[in-house]
Amino acid sequence: MSTRQAELGEFGFAGDDRVVPFQVEGLDVRGRAVQLGPLINTILDRHAYPAPVARLLAEAIVLTVLIGTSLKFEGKFTVQTKGNGPVDLLVADFTTPENVRAYARFDEQAVADAVAAGRASPEELLGEGVLAFTIDQGSFMQPYQGIVPLDGTSLEDIAGVYFRQSEQIPTRVRLGAAELFDRDADGKPRRTWRAGGLIAQFLPDAPERMRQPDLHGGDGDDRDTDLHGGDDAWDEARVLVETIDADELTDPQVGIERLLFRLFHERGVRAYDPQPVYDRCSCSRERLKGVLQGFSAEEIEASSEDGKITVTCEFCSTNYDFDPAELTAA
């Protein structure tokens, strides 16, 4: 990581789809921030998700990017929700060092009914279930998975609980997504999506300063305990992060460096070189062919239609056509 100090407040220094690591030495805080533009719009537009579903998936992608770009090894980081709400599955994964893909599974009628009834908040759409964070370092390492409950709170709050329980690091996460409307070059109405987020963690040199109050003894995590961490530096940092308005996270006229400057300039914030991220799927014809070749002859026949087998990637919507004969050849 470069130690060159960024010019905070300079519009477009990092730009869209570039994660900016930062450090606030005066508060013993480190973090990452990002605004996603073309990347998030391409992913969401590819599937034409309803707006509430798109907003949920956008937040999951931002969270995945913020955490995934901090990995120091070759591998994959995945954020996945499973719930009993109208949006029963969100998946976003980040393959180091820069590739992102994501999709959502939902009941279209149930989402429409929830919107009509005014019950389309992110928490209501997800319902009760679990949020899983999975780190996969490859075939020679056992994957690590941390699981926290979906309990009617926001993704950013649940992510904070994950860090506190699994890594014992005081953490605050802010996520936001916005649907923008304008006109294209021909004057036709156009919808685009933007998203942004910030993660701040308390990492003082003295380990004992990181210690937070013990978890509640009977009813799981008590979210209020973190509000009284007892360290003035973290209390100040947390309050500053919580002042972020959702519009600031997505407004291209603010920019990440200016947002960081607004938050922490009195404490001496330093931004580092931005890291680009890209909408790139890991699917391939060869990989899918290998999976299909594991099917029995009966399964291959049952999967064939009009003399071919068509497999559509749920992430990037690419169609792959296979001749059944090539799958059964010795």
Let me know whether 196 and 293 are in one domain. no
Reply yes or no on whether the pLDDT at 1 is more than 70: no
Q: Is the Cβ–Cβ distance between 88 and 80 less than 8 Å?
A: no
**What CATH number does residue 312 fall under?**
3.90.1280.10
Flag whether 264 is in a domain. yes
Bigger pLDDT: 196 or 227? 196
Nearest to 84 by CA among 126, 131, 114, 115: 126
Let me know whether 194 and 287 are in one domain. no
pLDDT score recorded for residue 230? 63
Let me know whether 47 and 158 are in one domain. yes
Average pLDDT, the chain: 87
Contacts of 161-169 with C-beta under 8 Å, sequence gap 24+, read 161/221, 161/223, 162/131, 162/133, 163/201, 164/212, 164/221, 164/226, 165/215, 165/221, 166/133, 168/210, 168/211, 168/212, 169/201, 169/202, 169/203, 169/210
**What CATH number does residue 259 fall under?**
3.55.30.10
Flag whether 216 is in a domain. no
Flag whether 1 is in a domain. no
Domain that holds residue 25: 16-206+231-277
Flag whether 172 is in a domain. yes
pLDDT score recorded for residue 220? 45
The pLDDT confidence band at residue 219, using thresholds 50, 70 and 90, is: very low
Let me know whether 32 and 122 are in one domain. yes
The pLDDT confidence band at residue 211, using thresholds 50, 70 and 90, is: low
Let me know whether 61 and 155 are in one domain. yes
- Amino acid 93 reads D
Flag whether 11 is in a domain. no
Let me know whether 148 and 249 are in one domain. yes
Let me know whether 135 and 262 are in one domain. yes
pLDDT score recorded for residue 18? 95
Q: Side-chain half-sphere of 176: how many Cα atoms within 13 Å?
A: 19
Reply yes or no on whether the pLDDT at 178 is more than 70: yes
Let me know whether 139 and 181 are in one domain. yes
Let me know whether 265 and 116 are in one domain. yes
Distances (CA, A) of 66 to 100, 119, 122, 275: 11, 29, 20, 11
pLDDT, tens only, 127-136: 999 999 999 9
Query: What is the total count of domains within the chain?
Result: 2
pTM score of the predicted model: 0.86
pLDDT, tens only, 28-87: 999 999 999 999 999 999 999 999 999 999 999 999 999 999 988 889 999 999 999 999
Average of pLDDT values for 303-310? 89
